[in-house]
Chains A and B, each alone.
Chain A
Amino acid sequence: MKKLISLLLALVMVLSLGSAAFAAPGDQADGKLTIWCWDKTFNIAAMEKAKEMYQAEHPDVEIDIEEVLSEDIESRVIASNGDTTTLPDIVLVQDHSIQKFVTNYPEVYHDITDEFDFSDFMPAKLGLSVVDGRNYGIPFDAGTVVAAWRTDYLEEAGYTVDDLTDIDMDRFLEIARDVKEKTGMPMLSGQAGAVDTVLIMLQSCGGSMFNEDGTANIAGNEKLKAVIETYNTMVAEGIFIEVNSWDEYIGTLSNGSVVGTFTGCWILSTIMSLTDQAGKWAVTNMPAMVGVDGATNYSNNGGSSWAIINNKDIDLALDFMQMYRNVDFYNEILPTTSAIACYGPAKEGSNYTAASEFFNGDAVFAKIVEFGDKVPAEVTGPYYYDARGNVGTAVTNALNGGDLDSELQTAQDTTEFTMGF
């Protein structure tokens, strides 16, 4: 009995000692910045660079860059429910989450409209972080869509990457069928139900799942319908292979079981990590939709922005983020992170204009920044992920033989249902 009590007492002591070991971040002394972002080889590396540059001029400023998963940052903002004491000063946010978070937690995010100059940034990207006309995000990496193709496979079928540049979907399908016949290869792959490809094609012709006033625009959306029909044609003909998970999708690229992909330019980090395939890839723009207004060869998928939290060190955070228009910063982080700037002038940087060995001497990064300026802006909103899930259901059901119009009507109803609370 005595032993038990002394054991418990000892444990209580260990516990309280342990507690003292961690200081609560809520009590930050002024002059210290905490930043949450999530990828060691990407945005963390970029912030380390920014920190280095900032501390060169402000040696007394302490900057903590902490690795926190995107979904964990989101969970923690939701869990703290408007109270910023446990939150850092700067967080990285997935572009499509900004609307949702700013709308729901306006007290958490700092309005930076008057603090920064947002001219020369990719218009399509900037729009994602504007809520009610106010800016809440500093664009970081672009999700500009690139089409990356295996030139060796194309050659086998008698094509070059130029044949796939500035083309429309009709021509693309023609080539794809021919390539499939000659090499047996599908052109594309992607996750079933994830609708990335559908939404990429939708934005390429200026379409959206929402109207300007924020209401759902799914049923009777001609652009969306045309896009889904094209997508389903590709799947049905075996031009687009649906796999069940992200790692299988990456697997199709690294195994060389597809000719290529079109998605956000961040995919190039993965492709460039396949060192045994160096020289076999080329980058161009995506095929444009046919028969819809405003079709272009450019789109966007993914990307993230920095948001400033209403915390004790706002002024310091604002000052730190001044690197957002620094061409040198974007230029220096490019080789290690492959993070492509949303800031137009960055394309003049020496690393942007340099020929890429992996891509046979093509200056792909400058090319991507140029693509970025031509991406049509997208209407988005706090219900983006709701709508996206429902459209995904409609696409899957239509593929399995459902009537597309009524499936889209269901998706519209389900989205309106959620919005109706």
Chain B
Amino acid sequence: MTQTSGRKLSMHQKQNIIGWFFLIPATVLIFWLSFYPMIRALMISFQGGRPTALTWSDPLTRNYKFLLKDRVFIQSLKNTFTYLIIQVPIMLVLAMIFATLLNDHQLKFKGLFRTCIFLPCATALVAYSLIFRTMFAYDGMVNAVLVKIGILNEPVNWLNNPSTAKAVIIIALIWRWTGYNMIFYLSSMQSIDYSVYEAARIDGAGAATQLFKITIPLLKPIILVTAIMSTNGTLQLFDESVNLTKGGPANATITMSHYIYNTMFQNNPNFGYAAAMSFVILILVAVLSAIQMKVGDKRE
């Protein structure tokens, strides 16, 4: 008995060591190519001055203190959170609905539907921003349709009004990323034996019951991945703000990443301040991810 447990322990240790070997290539790459530059960036966030002649700020937290007084930054923070709170839940729920519908073995043209719903995220940014702007223009298609069917009394200048411009960005995000998230749900659903659903159906369970009692509990790990990824993606949102609205009207749609980009590449470059803003994003994502992990990352 004692001997067995001793052997087991050593086997466990052996596995533990092998396990580390599995991780080494990926971990080394990340530490080398992400953490090393990140630490440099962290140092820069306490510095100021011309990019090639940075000096330590006095006081060290000067860049971070400036953040609290920067209206554009605070505006961008508010905008980004608006997108996060509205867009992420709608998108993930929709993705789950699509995945469930398209996982139905009796459904015809599944491959076609799947491809169609995935396509938005493969559509080049150039094409999609051009057409979204055209469609939401004052004399564009969206206004024409909505006025015709009586939802609107008169056309709306979507991109030139702070709240409708935000709405267009949210619509664009949902349009673009729902299919992307659907893929992960769909692929994970394959590890659930389809007969489980058939058995549930015979027991009289409806679609909703199947979703909440079978699918969601089993998909929890992947739902967590998508939730964290979407939170991260939205807090670092850049493309839509730059290409659809240019952050306007009057910074009403600018995101944090867009503002950081401007601070480095468009305005007079201020590396220290851009780095400080980046670490604020890191802290926000880390806190939100930690909460999500706390709720979802449990091994049964």
Contacts and interface: CB of A to CB of B under 8 A. Distances in A.
Q: Do the two chains touch directly in the complex (Cβ atoms below 8 Å apart)?
A: yes
A396 B137 contact: no
Q: Name the residue among B136, B138, B250, B267 with the largest chain A CB count within 10 angstroms.
A: B250
Interface of A: 71, 74-75, 78, 81-82, 100, 103-105, 107, 192-194, 242-245, 247-248, 382-383, 385-386, 389, 392-393, 396-397, 400, 410, 414, 417-418, 421
B270 interface: yes
Interface stretch (B47-55, B170-178, B213-221): B47-55
A392 B52 CA distance: 30
A105 B49 CA distance: 12
Given A71-B265, A103-B50, 20 more contacts: A81-B52, A100-B268, A103-B268, A104-B51, A105-B51, A107-B52, A192-B160, A193-B248, A242-B160, A244-B137, A244-B160, A247-B130, A385-B267, A396-B249, A400-B250, A417-B66, A417-B69, A421-B48, A421-B49, A421-B63
Nearest to B63: A421
B249 A192 contact: yes
B268 A104 contact: yes
B183 interface: no
Contacts of A397: 250
A272 B49 CA distance: 46
Contacts of A103: 50, 268
Contacts of A392: 248, 250
- 8 smallest beta-carbon distances between A and B, as pairs: A82-B52, A396-B250, A193-B248, A393-B250, A386-B267, A244-B159, A382-B268, A396-B249
B246 interface: yes
Contacts of B160: 192, 242, 244
Contact of B66 (A107, A383, A393, A421): A421
Given A193-B248, A247-B130, A78 B269 contact: yes
B263 to A, nearest CB: 8
24 contacts: A71-B265, A75-B265, A78-B265, A81-B51, A81-B52, A82-B51, A100-B268, A103-B268, A107-B52, A192-B160, A193-B248, A242-B160, A243-B138, A244-B136, A244-B159, A244-B160, A385-B262, A386-B268, A389-B266, A392-B248, A396-B249, A396-B250, A397-B250, A417-B70
Nearest to A384: B268
A243 B267 CA distance: 24
Contacts of B188: none
Interface of B: 48-52, 63, 66, 69-72, 130, 133-134, 136-138, 159-160, 245-246, 248-251, 262, 264-270, 272-273
B98 to A, nearest CB: 31
A24 to B, nearest CB: 19
Q: Name the residue among A82, A103, A385, A393 with the largest chain B CB count within 10 angstroms.
A: A393
A83 to B, nearest CB: 9
Contacts, number: 86
Contact of A78 (B51, B69, B133, B138): B51
Contacts of B71: 410, 414
A418 B159 CA distance: 27
A389 B267 contact: yes
A129 B245 CA distance: 31
Nearest to B165: A244
A26 to B, nearest CB: 18
Contact of B248 (A82, A192, A243): A192
B265 A74 contact: yes
Nearest to A383: B268
A243 B137 contact: yes
B255 to A, nearest CB: 15
Contacts of B48: 421
A392 B130 CA distance: 22
A397 B75 CA distance: 14
A421 B270 contact: yes
B128 to A, nearest CB: 13
Contacts of A410: 71
Contacts of B249: 192-193, 396, 400
Contacts of B137: 243-244, 248
